[in-house]
A and B are shown apart, each in its own frame.
Chain A
Amino acid sequence: MGKSATRDAYGKALAEFGSDERIVVLDADLSKSTKTAVFKDAYPDRHFNMGIAEGNMMAVAAGLASTGKTVFASSFAVFATSRAYEQIRNSICYPNANVKICATHSGITVGEDGASHQSIEDISIMRTLPNMTVLCPSDAAETRFCVKTALEINGPVYIRLGRISVEDVYDENQKFKAGKGVVAKDYGSDVAIFATGYMVQQSLKAAEKLLESGIKAKVIDIFSIKPIDRELIVKTAAKTGFVVTCEEHSIIGGLGSAVCEVLSEKRPTKVLRIGMEDTFGKSGTPDALLKLFGLDGESIAEKIQKAMQKS
Chain B
Amino acid sequence: MSNFINFRKGNFNLNMKLKLPFLIFYFLVLSSLEIHSQNCSYNFSGTVMDLHDESPLSNAVISIEGLDQNILSDENGFFEFVGLCQENYKITISHLKCKSKSLSINLNGNLEKVIKLEHHINELNEVIVLGDSNKRSKTIYENKISKEIIDDNFNSNLGDILKNVSGISSINSGNSIVKPIINGLYGSRVDILNNEVNIQDQQWGIEHAPSIDINSAGNIYVIKGAGALQYSGSAIGGIVIAEPSKTFLIDSLYGKTLIYGGSNGEGGSIVSKLTRTYESGWFSTLQGTLKRFGDFNAPDYIMSNTGFIDKSASFQIGLNRFNYGFEFFLSSINNEIGILQASHLHTAGDQIRAINSDSILYVDDFTYKINAPKQKVTHNLIKSKVYKRFQGFGKATLQYHFQNNKRLEFDIRRGINKNTASTDLRLKTHTLIIDFDSSFSDKFYFKFGIKGEFQNNFPNPETGVKRIIPDYDKYDFGSYVISNIKLNKNWLLEGGIRFDYSKIDALKYYRKSFWESRNYNKIYQDIVVKELSNQVLTNPKRNFNNFSATIGLSKKVNIFNSVLLNYSIGSRAPNPSELFSEGLHHSSARIELGDLSFSSEKSHKVGLTLSHTKNNIRITFNPYINSIVDFIFINPIEIQQTVRGSFQVWEYMQTNARIWGIDSDISYDFIEKFTLKNQISFLRGIDTSNDIPLINMPPLNLKNEILYKNSKFHNLILSIQSDYIFKQNEFPNNNFEVFVPTTGKMELVDVSSSPEAYHLLNFRSTIELSTENKSKIKIGLSINNLLDKSYKNYLNRMRNYSHDLGRNIMININVNY
Question: Do A and B share a complex?
Answer: no
Measuring CB to CB, which residues of chain A are less than 8 angstroms from any residue of chain B? none
Chain B positions near chain A (C-beta within 8 angstroms) = none
